[in-house]
Amino acid sequence: MIRAVKGTRDLLPPDTAVWNRVEKTAREVFRAYNYHEIRTPILEEEQLFVRGVGTETDIVSKEMYAFDDHGTRLVLRPENTASVIRAYIEHRLDQKPGIQKLYYIGPMFRRERPQKGRYRQFFQIGAEAIGSDSPFTDAEVIELVAEILSRAGLSGFHMLINSVGCKECRPVFVAKLKEALQPVAPQLCTDCQRRTETNPLRVLDCKVPEDQPLIDALPSILDSLCGICAPHFAAVQTYLQDRGIPYEIKPRLVRGLDYYMRTTFEAVHGNLGAQNSVLGGGRYDGLAESLGSKVHSPGIGFSIGEDRLVMTVDAGEPEVLDLFVATMGNAALRHAGSLAKELRRDGLSVEVSTDAKLKRAMELANKLGTRYVAILGEDEIAAGEYSLKNMLTGEQERVKREDLLQRIGKKN
């Protein structure tokens, strides 16, 4: 038997109904905040992520699915912010008025160890607001993600925020951090020992439990913010307070990608275990320029791990079949085809039985959990009335064709 590739999975009903509900909710919230959908290719050139995400990130150094294609190195996209910015530059969206507010829903790919809520093909719901460096925009984006999570049915999540400074003040902090890491580096995990030399800021992003006491004792970046970053972060907090959005400042919070600066944020939830992040995001004011933009295009965005979100929200009421049509004879089957087409256009879900045995058809209807069964035979067709059975109450009645929709449309 051929099975799904390791780290991937089939999404089956009834679970897909929850996915559809979450995505529908996200689209409604995006529309309310004037975001518009963008769909980027799953395949991108490798250099897009080498330049945009950073060579010292785990994504680029360990996790990308890369291959040669007639002399060009291509990858399955591991994240979508760099792809959105590439499209923003390529299609000159910087020439359009106002902030470009773009959202996406789709699969990403990373070769990492599968675990609870984490897969090699995974799905993200994300958005980017490009063209503003205002802290007001930061707060609005955080408000937006909190609204999506709440409307999707996730309760008990916590919003964590931080500032990782900018190109002016971050080097000062990194120098302090590197100095503080020297004596404790041998006690850290292998990855952090390497990061101490190559990218000290990434040490703060370490998830190894044994390293946390040492990391907690390191200097805080909030003590090194410059005269622009400090008031920017303070303003973000003020705007969040104005909106009544609870948050916690977490000075060790850094994002795993090199393009982030100033505001960073995460939403975490206790039901996900050690890897408890539902979403992450932040500001990336220099990313567009690093990818070749001639226009300064500050931006901020986020990505929700849809696999993890679906795991934590209430599944809600299952989808129910409205009508099962049991047919007796070929004439009834033909009649049922036109009837089902009409009712489906009116918004009902309809299944037609092709089994001429009424007993087997009724058994199947019961297994499918349908609300009503309409029994069709020659007598019913001739009279223009159907035997309609309410599967919840067991009551059966004769209903004219023109009254069928109204009768079934009354949800019990």
Local structure of residue 118 (DSSP, 8 states): B
Residue type, 406: Q
Mapped onto helix, strand or coil, the DSSP state of residue 135 is helix
Whether pLDDT at 116 is above 80: no
Contacts of 262 (CB under 8 A, 6+ apart): 138, 163, 164, 165, 166, 229, 232, 233, 282, 283, 285
Tell me which of 40 and 399 has the higher pLDDT: 40
Decide if 165 contacts 229 (C-beta within 8 A): yes
- Give the count of beta carbons closer than 10 Å to the beta carbon of residue 271: 14
Mean pLDDT for 43-50 is 90
**pLDDT for position 184:** 81
Mapped onto helix, strand or coil, the DSSP state of residue 386 is strand
Whether pLDDT at 6 is above 70: yes
Tokens read off for 267: 């939403």
Condensed to tens digits (0 to 9), the pLDDT of residues 335-358 reads 889 889 989 998 899 999 887 788
Angle at 138 between CA 132 and CA 139, to 5 degrees: 135
d(CA 151, CA 157): 13
pLDDT band at 55 (very low <50, low <70, confident <90, very high): low
Mean pLDDT for 64-80 is 90
CATH ID of 323-408, from 3.40.50.800, 3.30.70.1560, 3.40.50.920, 3.40.1170.60: 3.40.50.800
Q: What is the largest CA-CA distance in the chain?
A: 91
**For the chain, what percent of residues have pLDDT higher than 90?**
41
Q: What is the mean pLDDT of the chain?
A: 87
Condensed to tens digits (0 to 9), the pLDDT of residues 231-261 reads 999 999 999 999 999 999 998 887 656 678 8
**pLDDT for position 412:** 47
Mean pLDDT for 297-311 is 92
pTM of the predicted model as reported, rounded to 2 decimal places: 0.85
What is the residue extent of each domain of the chain? 15-169+225-312, 323-408
Tell me which of 124 and 295 has the higher pLDDT: 124
What CATH number does the domain located at 15-169+225-312 have? 3.30.930.10
Which range, 25-39, 145-159, 185-199, 369-383, is most confident? 25-39
Condensed to tens digits (0 to 9), the pLDDT of residues 161-172 reads 999 898 888 888
